[in-house]
Amino acid sequence: MYTFIDEERRFALYFLEGQKLIHDLALTHNVRGDGFAWFRDVVLSFQPLIGLLKHGEQIGLYIDSEQPFFRLKIETAHGGATRCAMLPDEFSEFPEAMYGLVRCQKLFPGNKAPYLSVLKVEGQPLGAIVNRVLDESYQVHSRVQLSRQSDQSAMLHQLPPLKDEYEYSEVALASRRAGLKDRLQDLLGKGLTGPEQITADYKEIGFRHLADRPIRFACSCSRERVIKSLKSLGEQDRRDLFEPHLDTLETVCEYCKARYEISRADLAGSPSGPN
């Protein structure tokens, strides 16, 4: 993801070149057709929010939709490591609108209490949901623009003024966005991947390159973490995980689909263990 700033230092622009990320998600998840197209759009819409994270922070987005029924999770860190999950695997719709809950959780370094925002969504399309997260959960003046030709997106973000030297409002954001929308869509339509070409083209529309970071699919699961999680269950619940005639069970990570074989002996003892 590339971070740009305009000459007046009033707006930042975050450009996500997400083609490798979406490719990896397509290989990992069995969601197909319209379901994967919606999965793609959600990931591309929310991933630019990583630009609003400070060093050491993490953000989690959780969509619990009841109509249509699905569960979607996106967890990403300031450094660019991202993992996503979409359930059920056979989800095949592209919902025009959804009904349910959207939870946005922000984690801070040093074990500080996390920030949690919960939004109730009633018949809203994806674009409106993204805007509500930006307005109500993050309370910033930002808007995301998706490319329909490539797996890329961009987020225009108004920077808060140090003093009252310029108007800081949704109106000012809308005005700047209107002037950029067509040119930005042209750039997104090119599907640029080369760093030099990307920085040169965005300079032509008035934005200077500040920094970039790799965005990659990465899962932190491990056999030790699975065992520790299962050990946190009550003794009877742990026993109920196993078929009566079997001494092992198989668990599958919902993010990366890694499989782990766990035995009864693995879950014996106290919940404490490897972190």
What's the alpha-carbon Rg for the chain, to the nearest Å?
21
Domain co-membership, 258 together with 170: no
Residue 273 lies in a domain: no
pLDDT of residue 274: 43
Nearest of 47, 49, 85, 82 to residue 64 by alpha carbon: 85
Domain co-membership, 178 together with 233: no
Residue 274 lies in a domain: no
Expressed as residue numbers, the domain containing 253 is 223-267
pLDDT of residue 82: 94
Domain co-membership, 164 together with 230: no
pLDDT of residue 234: 87
pLDDT tens digits, the chain, 275 residues: what are they?
A: 999 999 999 999 999 999 999 999 988 888 888 999 999 999 999 999 999 999 999 999 999 999 999 999 999 999 999 999 999 988 999 999 999 999 999 999 987 889 999 999 999 999 999 999 999 999 999 999 999 889 999 999 999 998 888 899 999 999 999 999 999 999 999 998 999 999 999 999 999 999 999 999 999 899 999 999 999 888 888 888 999 888 999 999 999 999 999 998 998 865 554 44
Residue 27 lies in a domain: yes
Residue 34 lies in a domain: yes
Task: Please tell me the distance from the alpha carbon of residue 275 to that of residue 263, in angstroms, as a whole number.
Answer: 19
Q: Is the peptide bond before 88 cis (omega within 30 degrees of 0)?
A: yes
Q: Cβ distance 216 to 82 under 8 Å?
A: yes
End position of a domain, from candidates 217, 242, 257: 217
The pTM score is 0.88
DSSP 82-112: EEEEEESTT-----SSEEEEEEEEEE-GGGP
